[in-house]
Chain A
Amino acid sequence: MELLRSRLAQWLLAMVALVALLATLAAVGVAQPIEEAASAVFGPAQRGLRQAAEPVANLVQNVDDFDRVDDENRALRNRIEQLEAELARAHEAQIQFRGREALLAVQEAQDEIFVLAEVVTRDLTGLQDVLGLNRGGNDGIEVGMPVLAAGGSLVGVIAEVRPGSAFVRLVTDPDASVRALHQLTRSEGVVRGDASGALRVDFLPHSADAQPGHVFVTSGLGGLMPKGIPIGRVTSAEGSAQDVFRRVRLDPIAPLDEVELVLIQVTFQPAPPLEPGAEEDAEAGTGEAAVE
């Protein structure tokens, strides 16, 4: 009784009640309008603070790291040169093979509408890979829409939408999975997030022969993601000839640690989720269906 009378014990009981109340409000959906209002009021301030902090953070983080930055610069220059060469080759191929299919593909690509959004918050706990964006339901954003980096590579999928803001679950989040294709052999697998911030490919047939540097793109199967979005580049591939699947790890192509602006493909409507039975079949059989 002495314990219950103490101020701390009374406060703890009040906190238990408060947590229970907040959990109940969230469960019945009452908390959401309050969260939305708070996002609307404080979102601009968050964005401003983040923009102000970004250059300072970059300076602080690189101040003792000139060698690494120098190496990175050199590597990036080489990479730009490679990409420019690839682009030129692709351009040449496009000119040479201007068939009906290619024209249709270009037309389709031009029909896509993207919404540009700024990253205003990141996950605070370190346990999830989630970004907060300054665009939301008012801009036509819906749960399940793909989010791309400025270069067109996959960043993640919209996981939660409020009227003026949205949260994107990055492709590296442990709960994220995307059906993917090995670009060279067109073999299918499922790219999953990894707690270490990298990506791994599950269910990739041994015949795929993925090698470091190879690229995986979204397969579009299941209708949860458009086809052909670059996801990641192979960093390691293991597995003996007896293994059914290869163990492949990827680095995401999108610069997820530094991304400040993203594109949300608002013209893409993800397919509705599978029936529970069908989902179990998919899990057991051909691989994962869920993008989130």
Chain B
Amino acid sequence: MKWPFLVAGTLGLTLLQTSAIPAFELLGVAPNLLLVTLCCWAVVRDRGEALALVPLAGICVGLLSHQGMAESVAAYVPLIVVAGLRDQIRPPSEYAWTLAVIIIATALHFFAVALALQVDGASLDWLVALTDVAVPSVLTNLFLGAIVYWLVRLPTPRARTA
């Protein structure tokens, strides 16, 4: 019964991400609420849910924006791998680990999108892109993640069900 809600929620977040969120720029970039929420979800909630929602989110972003679907899915996939490292690293704090996942996933999302653009033949000044897009995106998503974590954490039982 939870899946219809999860799919509808993902679609709703994608709609927000592709329409309203870009209006709220911080440090010159739009925060990626979808990526941040998926990072929190992958750490806090059942990992099986995140495994299904990540490709769904990628496809939805591809359908509703200028980005290609393959590019979007490829850009969101690394967050699952990063979140999955938790079992090996065993971080002392779930909150700190979620923020670390957001930082790494945002950086990997940037590199995946930039690489796809470069392969597609677009002009890209990597240094400017790093300083003007990647670093501000990491900071902005980190700020957002510090809040979104609690929105995902509070209604979730402590024991991980994965």
Q: Mark each residue of chain B from 21 to 52: 1 if its CB lies under 8 Å from any CB of chain A, else 0.
A: 11111001110100000000000000000010
Q: Which secondary structure dominates chain B's binding surface?
A: helix
Interface residues of A in 54-105 (CB under 8 A from B): 54, 56-57, 60-61
- The residue in chain B whose Cβ has the minimal distance to the Cβ of A8 is B84
Band of interface residues on B: 35 or more
The answer to whether B81 and A8 touch across the interface, beta carbons within 8 angstroms, is yes
The answer to whether B63 and A12 touch across the interface, beta carbons within 8 angstroms, is no
The answer to whether B81 and A174 touch across the interface, beta carbons within 8 angstroms, is no
- A125's partner among B16, B28, B73, B133 (CB-CB below 8 A) is B133
Q: Does A235 contact B (CB under 8 A)?
A: no
The answer to whether B63 and A34 touch across the interface, beta carbons within 8 angstroms, is yes
* Given A18-B73, A19-B74; A53-B64 close (CB under 8 Å): no
Residues of A within 8 A of B57 (CB): none
* Given A126-B29, A126-B133, A127-B113; A22-B23 close (CB under 8 Å): no
The answer to whether A195 and B128 touch across the interface, beta carbons within 8 angstroms, is yes
The answer to whether A127 and B65 touch across the interface, beta carbons within 8 angstroms, is no
The answer to whether B129 and A195 touch across the interface, beta carbons within 8 angstroms, is yes
Q: Does B6 contact A (CB under 8 A)?
A: no
The answer to whether A53 and B65 touch across the interface, beta carbons within 8 angstroms, is no
Distance A102 CA – B97 CA, assembled complex (angstroms): 69
The answer to whether B124 and A174 touch across the interface, beta carbons within 8 angstroms, is yes
* Given A8-B84, A22-B69; A50-B30 close (CB under 8 Å): no
| Closest chain B CB from A127 CB (angstroms) | 6
Binding site for B on A (CB under 8 A): 7-8, 11-12, 15, 18-20, 22-23, 25-26, 31, 34-35, 38-39, 42, 45-47, 49-50, 52-54, 56-57, 60-61, 120-128, 130, 132, 160, 167, 174-175, 195-196
10 A-B pairs with C-beta separation under 8 A = A18-B55, A20-B70, A22-B73, A31-B69, A38-B64, A46-B15, A49-B15, A53-B24, A57-B20, A174-B125
